[in-house]
Structure 1
Amino acid sequence: MESDPAPVTDLARKEVFTADGARVGRVTDVIVDLQRETPVELALSDVAERTVGGLPDGAVGVRVPFDLVRGVGDVIVLRSAAHEAPLPLPGGRDADGDADDGDGPDADDGDPIV
């Protein structure tokens, strides 16, 4: 017997972590495709600068594509580790752990929430 999926409202205020346990932020909103009735993106605030890097001026958070979600429980875990590309967050860290300056080919991987 199939279980009913949890409503997207259950995702609100959950902490989000990378696959290797680095905190990314807290869900403030879920963007849903109403025609397909599926979540498309998670809007995060209270973003961990150690994981994500600095946000562009005026940004209050980031959006993460829902297809990067590995699992949902007490927290949300992403498929990517903090050092793996592409973690679709502006200012993310590269493989060496250095802050991404945003001018490389991955600059359009994520969208800041402004």
Structure 2
Amino acid sequence: MDDTPQEITSLVGREVYSNNGVFVGEVEDLRLNVDGQTITGLALGNLNSELFTDATRSGQGVIVPYRWVRAVGDVILINDVVERVRQPDEEEEELIA
């Protein structure tokens, strides 16, 4: 019996954190390649509003490339690259200037 579908669906609902422990979001769905043999991305919802201000305001999720995944266990760890996605708010830019 092939356990792959069960393993893939078990990723849904897991929390995703960056390498340095920042909560990113929760897996809502998976992006698979055309033949369904590999996962190419994780569709995240319940996002960290500090990282994804625009997406959380609009109620949208984000897709994280699966190549960013470093470890899968009780939670999923990804590269901290996602923290750089966040753009400073206009107010913060004014404070910096």
Could you tell me how far 1:61 is from its partner in structure 2? 1.2
Question: What is the TM-score of this pair, normalised by structure 1?
Answer: 0.63
Structure 2 Cα separation of the partners of residues 15 and 22 of structure 1: 11
For residues 39-63 of structure 1, what are the alpha-carbon distances to aligned partners after superposition, in whole Å with 9 as ceiling and x for unaligned? 011000100112x130246342111
Q: Is there any run of 5+ residues in structure 1 with no aligned partner, and where?
A: 94-98, 102-114
Structure 2 Cα separation of the partners of residues 68 and 35 of structure 1: 21
Which residue pairs with 1:55 in the alignment? 54
Structure 1 Cα separation of the partners of residues 80 and 58 of structure 2: 26
Which residue pairs with 2:32 in the alignment? 32
Structure 1 Cα separation of the partners of residues 81 and 35 of structure 2: 31
Structure 1 Cα separation of the partners of residues 34 and 89 of structure 2: 34
Report the secondary structure of 2:58's partner residue.
Answer: coil
Report the secondary structure of 1:7's partner residue.
Answer: helix
Structure 2 Cα separation of the partners of residues 81 and 22 of structure 1: 11
Q: Is the 8 A contact 1:17 1:77 kept in 2?
A: yes
Report the secondary structure of 2:31's partner residue.
Answer: strand
Larger Rg: 2
Structure 2 Cα separation of the partners of residues 18 and 100 of structure 1: 21
Question: What is the TM-score of this pair, normalised by structure 2?
Answer: 0.73
Aligned residues: 86
Q: Share of identical aligned residues, percent? A: 30
Range 11-20 or range 55-64, more displaced: 55-64
Q: Is the 8 A contact 1:55 1:61 kept in 2?
A: no
Q: Is the 8 A contact 1:16 1:24 kept in 2?
A: yes
Which residue pairs with 1:104 in the alignment? none
Q: Is there any run of 5+ residues in structure 2 with no aligned partner, and where?
A: 91-97
Report the secondary structure of 2:10's partner residue.
Answer: helix
Greater percentage in helix: 2
